[in-house]
Amino acid sequence: MSSEHRDRVPIDAQSVDAPLSRFAVFLVVSAAEGDDALATVREVVSGVDDLLKTVGFRDLGSHLSCVVGIGRRLWDRLVPGIRPVELEVFPTVRGDVHTAPSTPGDLLFHIRAERVDLCFELERLILDALGSAVRVEDETQGFRYFDVRDLLGFVDGTANPIGDELQASAIIGDDDPAFAGGSYVVVQKYVHDLPEWGSLTVEEQETVIGRTKLENIELDDSVENQKAHKTLTTINDDNGDELDILRDNMPFGTPGSGEMGTYFIGYSARLWVTMKMIDNMFIGDPPGFYDKILDVSRAATGGTFFVPSNGVLHGLDDPDALVESLRALREDASSDAPSPMGDDAGEESKGDGTLGIGSLRESTGRATETEGT
């Protein structure tokens, strides 16, 4: 193989496990009502590979990637009649002191590259193609900060799965065969009060985070009932096994504006795992003992999306055929093996959205009606 071919890298949408990048754009938009707008959204989303390749081939070494996530309301318009079992609208989570808001958004575009101009150009082409079919709800430009630290000064993403664990943690498998190869993604934009954080001693900051600031070494929780951030965001199943998600958080902001923070983005094969983390942070574990990082870091947005596999993404241009195919996959799997949720399990998940593991998702702080949607 010649060197020009040996150095090439794939340029595909839906690369959930793309390598950490120097720059990113997190773009959330809402789709307009009407058939014309829906047709435009369908065409652009199903063909986003073409836009990605148009920009990415200019510098293959910059590893441009784009992941498209689709919210529940838009999914039901694009693919009526069948949906991923856990896909839901992000619920408002109210604790005694802090609230994780639910904010509008039908589509998420997570654009990553080693060059900021490539991110800019792909975002521009996507928005030009969508035109009046969408309204921009949030646009955040992220950047790598020193040795993968957040603006609070701590290393971010230490607990990310690697190797075979990454696939199992971030990519849907046989639990939902119709949507295997996809992923759930949750985004939240956290705005930091850096002067308030800076008023704490390093030891106080380390107690909040649960790690040493310089060496990134885990610390034991040292205050009765009060768990550190790293402990509250560690989720175990009923057997005591840790369940991971894949984070690709990035700092954002400009000193002149005063708005600076961390854009949280977490991919998971099981949506409830990420939502349990958020419950623990805002409601507390035990309830009332919320994550003290929230005293200096305010959640400004909240959204949940489903990331279809590339095959399903391309299939959106023929929804009737796609629905038929997805239903056949689900029906075949149901007839071949008993459901892990029992004989009464249907297309949708159980009422608590937990795939039958309700004890891990119980919460008193969920709003029955989501806000801002």
287 prior amide bond cis, ω within 30: no
Residue of 106, 156, 176, 291 marked active site: 156
Answer yes or no: 138 catalytic.
no
Query: In angstroms, rounded to a whole number, what is the distance separating the alpha carbons of residues 65 and 69?
Result: 13
| Amino acid code (one letter) for 288 | G
The two beta strands, 235-236 and 242-243, are antiparallel
Burial class (CB in 10 A: 0-12, 13-18, 19+), 366: middle
Question: Which of 2-27 are b and which e, b meaning 16 or more Cβ less than 10 Å from the residue's Cβ?
Answer: eeeeeeeeebbbbbbebeebbbbbbb
**Cα pseudo-dihedral 80, 73, 310, 357, rounded to 10:** -100
Q: And the tokens for 228?
A: 């550190």
Q: Which residues are catalytic?
A: 156
